[in-house]
């Protein structure tokens, strides 16, 4: 499959599986799943025809493993990043001692006042390493990395989740757990 087509289809999947399923007339269940047949039908009806085999390639080759099929292969969902309310049924897990959040320099003053907020998404997204956090921050401008004292947060009762594609998630990070490198 042509890499440009894969990228374009992947963007569309992110849009409809995380943010606006109604844009193609699709319905997600409460856990964020869409029926694969429904998805392909809705995509075709709105000008993005895709075959099942192509969808499988997109899911397998997606650079961040953003999507998963259900074990029986009949359903598909985004692994994280939703703005619509879905219950991914992730179990809380103990986090590594330090996690990282990449953001842009222009957001720092506000973050240091009010902590990290999920903004449009369901969770604050945290990275396991600084390289990943830098790539996340670059999407917003000049990147800057915040260190999150996740060990202290866990001791204080905050819950952490790890998505199927290895992104660490938590509800919010109060300012006192944040430091600049
Ligand atoms: C910032 C990508 C001001 C926050 C990535 C971020 C990730 C605040 C922005 C995933 C703030 C939200 C998520 C506060 C947070 N004041 N700014 N109090 N609290 N912010 O895109 O973490 O390619 O919703 O620092 O790889 O950048 O989509 O979150 O800059 O995993 O799969 O508000 O998206 O993955 O931006 O990225 P986002 P994010 P995908």
How do residues 3-23 score in pLDDT, each as one tens digit?
888 888 999 999 999 999 999
CB 147 within 8 A of CB 179: yes
Using DSSP's 3-state secondary structure scheme, residue 30 falls into: coil
First to last CA, the chain: 42
pLDDT digits 0-9 by tens, 131-177: 999 999 999 999 999 999 999 999 999 999 999 999 999 999 999 99
CB 161 within 8 A of CB 167: no
Q: What is the pLDDT of residue 1?
A: 76
pLDDT digits 0-9 by tens, 34-45: 999 999 999 999
User: What is the average pLDDT across 46-56?
Assistant: 93
107 lines ligand 1 (CB under 6 A): yes
Model pTM score? 0.92
Distance CA 125, CA 112 (A): 17
Domain spans of the chain? Answer: 3-78, 98-180
What is the 8-class DSSP label of residue 18? I
Topology classification of domain 3-78: Arc Repressor Mutant, subunit A (1.10.10)
Q: What is the pLDDT of residue 3?
A: 84
CB 82 within 8 A of CB 18: yes
The rounded Å distance from CA 60 to ligand 1 centre is 24
The rounded Å distance from CA 36 to ligand 1 centre is 28
126 lines ligand 1 (CB under 6 A): no
Q: Which atom of ligand 1 is nearest to the CA of 125?
A: 22
The chain-wide mean pLDDT, for the chain, equals 96
Identify the CATH assignment for 98-180 out of 3.90.1150.10, 3.40.630.30, 1.20.1250.20, 3.20.170.30: 3.20.170.30
The percent of residues above 70 in pLDDT, for the chain, comes to 100
81 lines ligand 1 (CB under 6 A): yes
Minimum CA distance residue for ligand 1 atom 5: 136
């Amino acid at each position: 499959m042509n890499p440009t087509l894969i990228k374009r289809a992947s963007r569309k999947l992110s849009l409809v599986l995380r943010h606006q399923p109604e844009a193609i007339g699709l319905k997600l269940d409460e856990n964020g799943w869409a029926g694969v047949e429904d998805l392909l039908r809705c995509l075709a009806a709105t000008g993005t025809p895709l075959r099942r085999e192509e969808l499988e390639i997109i899911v397998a080759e997606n650079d961040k493993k953003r999507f998963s099929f259900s074990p029986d292969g009949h359903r598909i969902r985004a692994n994280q990043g939703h703005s619509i309310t879905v219950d991914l049924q992730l179990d809380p897990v103990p986090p590594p001692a330090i996690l990282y959040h990449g953001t842009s320099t222009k957001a720092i003053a506000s973050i240091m006042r009010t902590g990290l907020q999920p903004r449009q998404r369901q969770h604050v997204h945290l990275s396991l390493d600084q390289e990943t956090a830098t790539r996340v921050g670059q999407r917003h401008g000049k990147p800057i990395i915040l260190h999150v004292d996740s060990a202290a947060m866990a001791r204080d009762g905050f819950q952490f989740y790890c998505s199927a594609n290895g992104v660490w998630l938590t509800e919010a990070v109060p300012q006192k757990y944040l430091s600049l490198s």
